[in-house]
Every structure is written in structure tokens, then in C-alpha cells.
């Protein structure tokens, strides 16, 4: 029984492209008492792996939190795997506003102490005693009430690119930091104000609303389904958006646009921008905002130091990062002294610019292509590649793409090739085709025909 990934992200990306089928990015959560999280985790992995579902999922005694990518054709079958559990019957699935087939490239399910780390050790705290859920229209209406205080329970790098107008945006890096800060800030308004909260998909607000009710706040509300569901309801009902900018998401897209307003700046040059980048240096991976010009000039790096490091031999790069903790520092403001235009805390509500057509987050060159076959051999001295044709027909003059995890994407036009020892003008399914290539190929490489 397979309980872990056997493919790399690169191999999975190729498989997704080869399949050519639409995938849906979605998220969901549920607070519940799970007696055996490890068994629950293993059962989910087996069921979801069979459906080619991918994503990042956390399970704990207190419930499940999932962000996933599911083939559209398997959507109902996936829902049935959830309905098998009483606490997930009728669960709301937040389908992303913007879709990307590569939003997740692995199925990772981890057992954690809690699905949302809160730093709380209070046995009397009931996480299921939550506040009043508000739909988009109701949320808009309560925001117009002068008796309302609205709080963003996301982190600084999320609220910087987009938030609700008038919201308190705590200058924090984790959810657990925000609870005592907001509690202290609003302690004199437990009875006389509407405490209204929101987050990305609702899971943090679910716990926060229960926490503030536990702290004695009388009028506690939360945005049902978070910003993701809010955006969906805006489109369906034609409502005014009181959210401005982009919604940060925790997958390869790093954001989906809610309004065309850009309210943040490139952290390196100050140009209006709200596209996040992970620093290319594997010893850093700092998450920051970077415009296209700085991305090109800095090669996706956050500093000249990191730029120099990525051009070092790999062995030297590994030596520099040996023993360093990277993953838990990627959001740290303390690592970003070189970023002159980084903002958090009190944030602007006026647009600095208007977004143009969204750029491809992965910055991949998209071409319409059909899969022809796979690599069979590479003759090093002659620099000749051999491929077996498994689909369609290949002709002299065709523009082809050879793609693989190490080879990358290489395009060439075939002016001649050989089948069965003889030069020919076309090759059919089953033929082994050889031709010269100006680069090395690997047996993991695939052969595509580019279609105009």
C-alpha cells in the first residue's frame, strides 16, 4: 500500500501536461475530534492518490486543513471520499477564483499537533463554539456599520498585497502572534462593538472567533469561507468588493486577483507590484514582492548576496547552507534588511496602479503541443538522439519540443531524421526515430510536436 509520493514535482508536472486535462484548485477545513490522526491520514492518502489528487494537507486530533488540486473529472469522486466521514458531510469546498493546473505537484498529508497553531494551552477553550458566519452581502453590510471593528487574521505578507478597507492588519508573522495582540488592543470593546474577522479560507477565523468568544467578546462574526468564498459570491451576486487588491494563497500561484488595484510595491525598486517571489537561493527562499524588471535583473533573488550564491558551484552552495534552518525563516521580516520598500502593519487603501492581464505565475512558456513519444537512447559522440513514436505522426519540417526535468524545454525544427537506418520524410506510431541534437538528452525526456 503506497503511503507517500514516488514522483518528483518535475515529473508530476510533465504528467499533468501530458494528460492535458483540467484540474481544480480548492481548499476546505473542518474542526472535529479525530481519535487516530495517523490512520485517518493513511486512509486519505490511499483514497486521494487513486484519484490523482494533489495538495498540502494537515490533520490533527482537532480536525483537517487542506489545500488541493483535483482533476475536474474526478471532482465528484473526490467529494465522495469526504462524505464517507460524518464530520465532512456537506462540507464547503472553496474552489479557487483563478485556476492553475500546477498549483500543487505532490500529495503531502502531515499529522500535526494542531491544524492551526495557536500557542494556546487552555483545556476550557472550545474551538467549536464559533462566532456568527456572514455571507458576502451580510459582510459588506456590517462593514458599513460604524459600530464594527474588522480584523485581518492573516499575516503581514498576505495583507500587504490585499485586505478589506478599514481593517486592522496586525504586523505579525504567525496566527498565534495575532491573538494576544488583538485581545489587548480591543479589550475595552467586548460589549459595545461588533468584532468582525476574516482570513483566506475561513479556518483561522473559525478558531479566532471561538477564542474571542472564550475571552468574553459578545458580538463576534466571521466571513464565511474567507476571502476565497467572498470573491466567488461577488461574481455570482454582482456585489461591490470591499476587499482591495490580491488574495495571497499558499500554493504555487502565490495569489489570485480580487480587484485590479495594486496597493503594494516591489520590495527592491518601489514600483507598484503585488507579485510574490521565493528567492532563488536554496539557502534563503525568502518570500518577497518583486516586479518583472527586478526579477530579470536579480534572477529571482532578494539580494546581491543571494545572486552571487546561485552562481557558485553547487557543492559550495550546499556547504553554505548546511545546518541552517530555512523553511521557518522564509516569511521573516528580520531577514529582509535589503528590501527597502517592504511594508506591514498599517497599510494603504488607495491603489498605486491598476493591474494588467495577469502574468503566468510560473513564468513558463506556454505552447500548444501534442505528445509524440519518449527518449530511447542518446549517442554521446555523434550527438544523436533516438525517440520512439507512440502518438501521432512526425514529419520533416515539424517544430518539436524535447522536455525533461534536467534537459528543460528545448525547441528545434527537424530538417531531417532517420527511421530504420534510412532517411525519410515522415515517421508513424511504433517507429524509432534518430536525429542530431545540439544538447544532451536523458531517458526521462519526452518528445512533443508544437502545433501552431
**176-183 own/partner pairs: CB under 8 Å, 24+ apart:** 176/117, 176/118, 176/119, 176/120, 178/153, 178/208, 179/118, 179/119, 179/120, 179/208, 179/211, 182/151, 182/212, 183/212, 183/215
DSSP-derived secondary structure letter, 110: E
Burial (0-12, 13-18, 19+ Cβ within 10 Å), 305 = exposed
CB atoms within 10 A of CB 174: 13
d(CA 213, CA 98): 34
H helix intervals, 218-291: 226-237
Identify the H or E element spanning 184: helix 175-185
Please answer whether residues 173 and 155 qualify as being in contact, where contact means their C-beta atoms are separated by less than 8 angstroms. yes
CB atoms within 10 A of CB 184: 9
Candidates 199, 266, 279, 284; catalytic one: 199
Q: Is 301 one of the annotated active-site residues of the chain?
A: no
* Angle in degrees, CA 355, 24, 374, rounded to 5: 100
d(CA 60, CA 45): 15
Taking Cα atoms as reference points, which of 113, 115, 116, 104 lies closest to residue 48?
A: 104
d(CA 76, CA 73): 8
Find all residues with CB under 8 Å of 86, minimum gap 6, and list them. none
* Pairing verdict, β 408-413 and 399-404: antiparallel
Say how many residues make up the chain: 452
Q: Which three cell numbers stand for residue 55?
A: 495538495
d(CA 419, CA 21): 32
DSSP E strands in 143-240: the ranges are: 148-152, 162-164, 194-198, 219-223
Catalytic residues: 199
Amino acid at each position: 500500500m503506497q503511503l507517500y509520493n514516488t514522483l518528483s514535482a518535475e515529473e508530476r508536472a510533465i504528467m499533468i501536461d501530458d494528460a492535458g486535462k483540467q484540474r481544480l484548485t480548492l481548499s476546505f477545513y473542518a474542526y472535529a475530534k479525530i481519535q487516530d490522526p495517523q490512520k485517518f491520514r493513511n486512509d486519505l492518502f490511499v483514497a486521494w492518490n487513486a484519484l490523482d489528487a494533489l495538495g498540502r494537507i494537515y490533520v490533527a486530533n482537532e480536525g483537517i486543513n487542506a489545500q488541493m488540486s483535483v482533476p475536474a473529472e474526478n471532482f465528484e469522486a473526490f467529494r465522495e471520499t469526504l462524505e464517507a466521514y460524518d464530520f465532512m458531510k456537506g462540507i464547503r469546498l472553496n474552489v479557487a477564483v483563478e485556476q492553475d493546473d500546477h498549483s500543487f505537484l505532490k500529495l503531502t498529508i502531515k499529522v500535526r499537533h494542531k491544524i492551526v497553531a495557536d500557542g494556546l494551552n487552555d483545556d476550557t477553550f472550545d474551538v467549536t463554539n464559533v462566532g456568527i458566519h456572514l455571507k458576502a452581502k451580510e459582510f459588506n453590510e456590517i462593514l458599513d456599520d460604524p459600530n464594527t471593528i474588522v480584523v485581518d487574521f492573516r499575516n503581514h505578507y498576505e495583507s500587504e498585497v490585499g485586505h478589506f478597507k478599514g481593517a486592522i492588519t496586525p504586523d505579525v508573522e504567525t496566527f498565534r502572534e495575532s491573538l494576544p495582540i488583538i485581545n489587548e488592543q480591543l479589550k475595552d470593546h467586548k460589549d459595545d462593538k461588533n468584532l468582525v474577522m476574516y482570513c483566506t479560507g475561513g479556518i483561522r477565523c473559525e478558531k479566532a472567533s471561538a477564542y474571542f468568544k472564550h475571552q468574553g467578546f459578545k458580538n463576534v462574526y466571521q466571513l464565511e469561507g474567507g476571502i476565497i468564498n467572498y470573491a466567488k459570491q461577488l461574481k455570482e451576486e454582482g456585489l461591490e468588493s470591499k476587499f482591495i487588491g490580491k488574495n495571497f494563497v499558499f500554493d504555487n500561484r502565490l495569489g489570485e486577483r480580487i480587484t485590479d488595484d495594486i496597493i503594494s510595491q516591489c520590495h527592491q525598486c518601489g514600483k507598484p507590484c503585488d507579485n510574490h517571489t521565493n528567492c532563488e537561493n536554496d539557502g534563503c527562499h525568502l518570500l518577497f514582492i518583486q516586479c518583472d524588471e527586478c526579477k530579470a535583473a536579480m534572477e529571482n533573488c532578494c539580494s546581491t548576496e543571494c545572486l552571487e550564491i546561485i552562481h557558485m558551484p553547487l557543492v559550495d552552495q550546499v556547504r553554505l547552507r548546511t545546518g541552517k534552518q530555512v523553511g521557518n525563516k522564509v516569511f521573516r521580516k528580520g531577514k529582509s534588511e535589503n528590501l527597502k520598500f517592504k511594508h506591514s502593519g498599517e497599510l494603504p487603501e488607495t491603489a498605486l496602479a491598476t493591474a494588467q492581464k495577469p502574468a503566468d505565475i510560473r513564468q513558463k512558456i506556454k505552447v500548444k503541443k501534442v505528445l509524440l513519444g519518449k527518449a530511447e537512447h542518446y549517442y554521446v559522440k555523434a550527438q544523436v538522439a533516438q525517440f520512439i513514436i507512440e502518438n501521432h505522426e512526425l514529419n520533416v519540417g515539424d517544430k518539436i519540443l524535447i522536455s525533461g526535468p534536467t534537459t528543460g524545454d528545448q525547441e528545434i525544427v527537424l530538417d531531417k531524421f532517420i527511421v530504420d537506418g534510412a532517411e525519410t520524410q515522415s515517421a508513424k506510431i511504433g517507429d524509432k526515430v534518430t536525429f542530431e541534437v545540439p544538447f544532451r538528452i536523458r531517458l526521462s525526456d519526452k518528445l512533443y510536436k508544437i502545433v501552431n
